[in-house]
Structure 1
Amino acid sequence: MKKIFSKSIVIQFVIPAILSILITASVTGFMSFRAADHAVKQKLKLSDLLKIVELKAEKIDSRLRRAKESSIFLAGDPGLIEWFKSGEKDQRLGNLVKDKITFLTDEFDYSTVSAVNAKTYHYWVKDRKLLNTVSPDEPHDGWFFRFIKSGQKVEFNIDYNKELNSTFVFTNALIGTTDEPLGAAGV
């Protein structure tokens, strides 16, 4: 009888108590996990992602500012201005300008640096390379002719370059004056 009584105590109290403890621990653990998961996601959404986005935006803004400065610097280069005014006849000046384009491209890690002459329509890039001769009849060259006529000193332009086979954000600076544009310097 003691065995039956002791089995019934185990069945009546101990097993339900163990099951109750296991269920309570599981529910509490699951609820704690959900609360911690929610708190971490909220922190990530509210502060960490915002900081990441701010840092990326700052990096992009800094890169665009630097590209603008480099474009203006190249557009104001006396050698480039004289070379473009002469119709690219002075070979010594031309080599200096083309070397400066290569230097800016390599030194500042730009995808491309260019100078386009409004007289000859020559499109110069690094390594003293004549990439193209732009044409008002070519749709891909429309950016140059729009910019020259726009009266702006600097513009940002997203454009596909078929010769380079890629899309870039270009920062173009006017070479010369708005009344007498000589070309565009771009980064």
Structure 2
Amino acid sequence: MARNPERRSALLDAAIDVLADEGARGLTFRAVDARAGVPAGTASNYFSDRDDLLTQAGARIHVRMSPAPEQVDTVTRPAPGRELVAELMKWLVRRTAEERTGYLALLELRLEATRRPALRAELDRAVREELDRNIRFHMDAGLPGDADTVLLLYLAMTGLLLERLTLPGVLAGRELDRVVDLVVERIVPAG
């Protein structure tokens, strides 16, 4: 296996782009090589097989989609409260639009994980870590609610983002910020 970390990252980013554009069925070594602009056969030097490529893309996608710490700091400057939670959820919706490719690829990976145990284990690990990190962040920031509040927000926002990405007509005519405000109002305790 080749050991150039920059090339491996570029190939994984190309795989994420292929997943978003063509779905899991379109994810081949040849498609990844073409998307990355590297010679044919390069991806096969970095990944033992398609399962390995999918699993490593599952690990990479969370790194790619995580906001920079300075972005989080900027967003969390207001005083903790229900309004800040609503702003954080609206920020998540905006980030989804900005990183649409990553979120679509993650949906493809989640579907593939139902058939691939190694990928399922990687996504379980990564998503659980992210959820735990969000719970710690919420509690450390003094935001209203508890761990269950964050879990319910996670589940509600996951559904909202799924609709927005896959069937945008379902929410057509609804102001998305107002929908997010309703979610927060119903889940997050006042004060």
TM-score bin, normalised by smaller chain: under 0.3
Higher-Rg member (1/2) = 1
Provide the TM-score with structure 1 as the length reference. Answer: 0.23
Provide the TM-score with structure 2 as the length reference. Answer: 0.23
Greater strand share, structure number: 1
Q: Which has the higher contact order (CA 8 A, sep 6+)?
A: 2
Greater helix share, structure number: 2
